[in-house]
């Protein structure tokens, strides 16, 4: 309790703008409740987060480890973004039944489809274990010793709270290792596709409109969670039943107005608001440019083959979308951080910190900035190298063979006959599935192009196997021809006669092992600098909080459940937006962007017909327009995709799905004037389900407030 009070004392009195911050639910009552009530919140903190009673947190799930989703019915119905369900929808699609392109709505529960791998994670509770963990470390420890002690205590805490494996428990570090909290979760793995709009709606605007406003995208999809008859998690079975959740969100179709209260709960992935100036400079000048260039190269290879073959397009659609998203994100970060001179602002504040740290009473902090900057100066070139190399792993399935399918085969070869017999059918299915979803000519060219770019641009020591290769293209081609991992027959034959030595000397396994080892390779000089850096960064955050010099008062996002709050908020008027006010868009603007047969701006004929008839049902606004997207000033980041946007009564008014390009530096610094969250209006979601798709039975499941 003492540590909690200390943490709270650092928050209280240092409050920033209400729209900034991603807050722990357990501190809502003390830190945010009164401020939120002034803005329009009608709920108590207990109705938002309760351990013993149902609350809002019971309706929010992490979706497949990377997005957020929410329960919207008492039958386990889950709503998230289209781009969050994208890989599952693509997996279930075939050229004959292309649900990704054409959309899909299950007529009944028996028509709901189970992807191979999809899960949701419920948040059960959290608690502060800072004092317990920090009591195990001291200033005399090296960073390795410190990390070992923390790891040991973390394991004990996780074991104590898992209830013999019933729950997933995660102890997480906050404020760069100055505080620790544990989180208890429960996972459900039987999650089935209920419905999705066609990609021309769910991905309308494509890469062109990504991170841009005004937006006109119906970015949503729906799934259902199944459980055993007692409501417990269970593997897929026809005997499973829809989950009856502790809480589901009512859906409010009364509409939004400017300055309405807006609250978002979700799982933001990663922010770096405490990142030092040297880290920002390293990203902008070394790491991100390499990422952007390599991403574009990977996208070009993917697009070349996807445009030729519909089956290839479906198999690689999710990978292309993911790379394209980060390509634009990283370029936007470079532009925004450069434009707003974010590193210079941070450096100025760090000079103030240095003066504070050089006072006699603060002597422990005197070398903090020096050690941080020394590490970045030493690793700038490595950061560029690592990002070119990282994109080889992201672009090519085979670059990580030794950690994926190859590792499974190696384990199989090392097992006894009984163990092999038990896993052989599963491995056979895995091999067939891998080859069926893999286009070898694409993969061969991808690996060549990625390695070629890396070798030319990394400006750093290369892996030995490629440093003296005269004909890289021929080398990569030979690797593919000789590897058993590129051929289904060879891999299935390996299951019949496993040979560990053969696999150890497989050219793709050797390449993968070498490249991964090279990525993680270091030097004694870098290791020593990293040891100093880790300690210095932790002390920087501690000192910034103690000195009150930092404008940031909350922990960075790290995929744990957070709450952000603000208001429906407009940008300055924009001639590209046909709406009356520039905080929302309508279907009129969508149709205006329509380009027949265009990959990004095509629209289904049925949707255009509904627009021409103005047949919007009960979902139109007061002036008869069909709302599509709207803006709020909530603080979100990647991982918040699919998060519910709630009004003051905890009712669903939209889904968060994007941010604006002008505030792309938001992961590092929050700009209260520019930063916006782009949301799908829940009225557009219900209109598409009901009027366009004719799936009114889905709407009838929900608690709709008119």
Which residues are designated catalytic?
Answer: 83, 219, 641
First to last CA, the chain: 44
- Nearby residues of 584 by Cβ (< 8 Å), 6 or more positions away: 256, 627, 628, 629, 630, 631, 681
Which candidate, 441, 233, 203, 215, places its Cα nearest to that of 322? Answer: 203
Under a CB-based contact definition with an 8 Å cutoff, are residues 578 and 586 in contact? yes
Residues 401 and 487 sit within 8 Å (Cβ to Cβ): no
**458 CB-near residues (< 8 Å, 6+ apart):** 290, 384, 385, 388, 389
Strand (E) or helix (H) holding 428: helix 417-436
* E strands in 634-703: 644-646, 652-659, 677-681
Q: Which residues pair with 222 in a beta bridge?
A: 79, 195
Omega within 30 of 0 (cis) for the link into 214: yes
| Euclidean distance between CA atoms 82 and 684, whole angstroms | 14
100, 90 Cβ separation under 8 angstroms = yes
Q: Which tokens go with 619?
A: 């979902």
Query: Cα separations (Å) of 13 from 10, 32, 41, 251?
Result: 8, 12, 21, 36
The span from the CA of 428 to the CA of 494, in Å, is 10
Q: Is 477 exposed, middle or buried (0-12, 13-18, 19+ CB in 10 A)?
A: middle
Tell me the helices (H) and strands (E) count for the chain, helix number first: 28, 19
Distance CA 3, CA 537 (A): 21
Burial of 99 (0-12, 13-18, 19+ CB in 10 A): buried
Cβ atoms of 60 and 79 closer than 8 Å:
no
3-state helix, strand, coil in the chain (%, to 5): 50, 15, 35
Token pair 């060549």: residue: 448
DSSP assignments along 575-593, one per residue? TT--SSSTTEEEHHHHHHH
Classify 546 as helix, strand or coil. helix
Q: Is 112 helix (H, G, I), strand (E, B) or coil?
A: coil
Q: Which two tokens stand for residue 225?
A: 């969670």
Give every CB contact of residue 266 below 8 A, 6+ residues apart in sequence.
60, 68, 561, 562, 636, 639, 640, 642, 643, 644, 656
**What are the Cα distances from residue 642, in Å, to 33, 76, 654, 664?**
24, 16, 9, 19
Which of 206, 214, 263, 345 has its CA nearest to residue 665?
345
């Amino acid at each position: 309790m003492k540590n909690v009070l200390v943490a709270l004392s650092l928050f209280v009195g240092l409050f920033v703008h209400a729209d900034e911050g991603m807050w722990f639910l357990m501190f809502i009552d003390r830190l945010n409740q009164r401020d939120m009530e002034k803005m329009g919140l009608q709920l108590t903190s207990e109705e938002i987060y309760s351990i013993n009673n149902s609350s809002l947190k019971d309706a929010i799930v992490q979706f497949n480890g990377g997005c957020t989703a929410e329960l919207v019915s008492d039958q386990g119905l889950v709503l998230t973004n289209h781009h969050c369900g994208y890989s599952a929808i693509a997996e279930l699609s075939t050229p004959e039944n292309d649900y990704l392109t054409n959309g899909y709505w299950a007529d009944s529960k028996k028509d709901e489809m189970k992807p191979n791998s999809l899960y949701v994670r419920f948040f059960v509770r959290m608690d502060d274990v800072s004092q317990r963990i920090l009591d195990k470390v001291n200033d005399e420890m090296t960073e390795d010793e410190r990390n070992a002690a923390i790891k040991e205590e973390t394991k004990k805490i996780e074991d104590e709270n898992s209830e013999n494996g019933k729950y997933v428990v995660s102890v997480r570090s906050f404020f760069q290792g100055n505080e620790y909290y544990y989180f208890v979760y429960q996972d459900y793995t039987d999650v089935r596709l209920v419905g999705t709009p066609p990609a021309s709606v769910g991905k309308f605007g494509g890469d062109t409109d990504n991170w841009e406003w005004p937006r006109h995208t119906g970015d949503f999809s729906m799934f259902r969670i199944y459980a055993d008859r007692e409501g417990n998690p269970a593997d897929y079975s026809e005997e499973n039943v829809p989950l009856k959740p502790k809480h589901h969100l009512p859906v409010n179709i009364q509409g939004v107005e400017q300055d309405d209260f807006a609250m978002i709960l979700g799982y933001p992935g990663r922010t770096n608001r405490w990142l030092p100036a040297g880290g920002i400079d390293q990203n902008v000048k070394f790491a991100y440019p390499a990422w952007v260039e390599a991403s574009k190269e990977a996208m070009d290879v993917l697009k070349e083959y996807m445009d030729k073959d519909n089956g290839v397009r479906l198999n690689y659609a999710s990978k292309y979308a993911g790379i394209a998203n980060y390509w634009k994100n990283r370029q936007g970060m470079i532009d925004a951080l450069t434009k707003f001179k974010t590193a210079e602002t941070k450096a100025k504040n760090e000079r103030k910190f240095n003066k504070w740290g050089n006072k006699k009473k603060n002597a422990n902090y005197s070398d903090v900035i020096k050690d941080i900057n020394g590490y970045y100066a030493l690793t700038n070139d490595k950061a560029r190298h690592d990002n070119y190399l990282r994109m080889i792993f992201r672009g090519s399935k085979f670059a990580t063979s030794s950690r994926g399918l190859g590792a499974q085969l190696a384990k199989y070869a090392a097992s006894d006959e009984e163990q092999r017999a038990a896993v052989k059918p599963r491995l056979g299915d895995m091999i067939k599935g891998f080859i069926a979803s893999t286009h070898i000519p694409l993969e061969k060219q991808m690996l060549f192009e990625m390695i070629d770019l890396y070798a030319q641009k990394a400006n750093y020591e290369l892996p030995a196997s490629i440093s003296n290769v005269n004909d890289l293209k021929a080398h990569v081609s030979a690797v593919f021809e000789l590897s058993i991992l590129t051929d289904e027959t060879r891999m299935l034959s390996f299951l019949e006669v496993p040979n560990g030595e053969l696999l150890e000397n497989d050219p793709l396994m050797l390449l993968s092992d070498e490249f991964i080892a090279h990525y993680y390779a270091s030097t004694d000089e870098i290791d020593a600098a990293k040891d100093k850096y880790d300690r210095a960064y932790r002390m920087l955050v501690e000192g910034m909080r103690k000195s009150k010099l930092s404008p940031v008062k909350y922990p960075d996002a790290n995929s744990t459940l957070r709450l952000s709050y603000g208001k429906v908020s407009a940008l300055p008027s924009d001639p590209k937006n046909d709406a009356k006010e520039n905080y929302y868009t309508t279907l009129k603007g969508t149709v205006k962007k329509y380009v027949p047969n265009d990959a990004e701006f095509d629209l289904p004929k049925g949707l255009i017909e509904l627009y021409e008839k103005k047949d919007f049902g009960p979902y139109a606004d007061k002036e008869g327009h069909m709302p599509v997207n709207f803006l709020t000033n909530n603080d979100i980041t990647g991982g918040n995709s699919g998060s519910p946007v709630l009004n003051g009564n905890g009712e669903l008014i939209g889904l968060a799905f994007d941010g604006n390009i002008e505030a792309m530096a938001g992961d590092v610094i929050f700009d209260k004037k520019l930063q916006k969250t782009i949301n799908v209006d829940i009225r557009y979601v219900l209109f598409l389900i009901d009027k366009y798709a004719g799936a009114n039975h889905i709407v009838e499941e929900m608690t709709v407030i008119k």
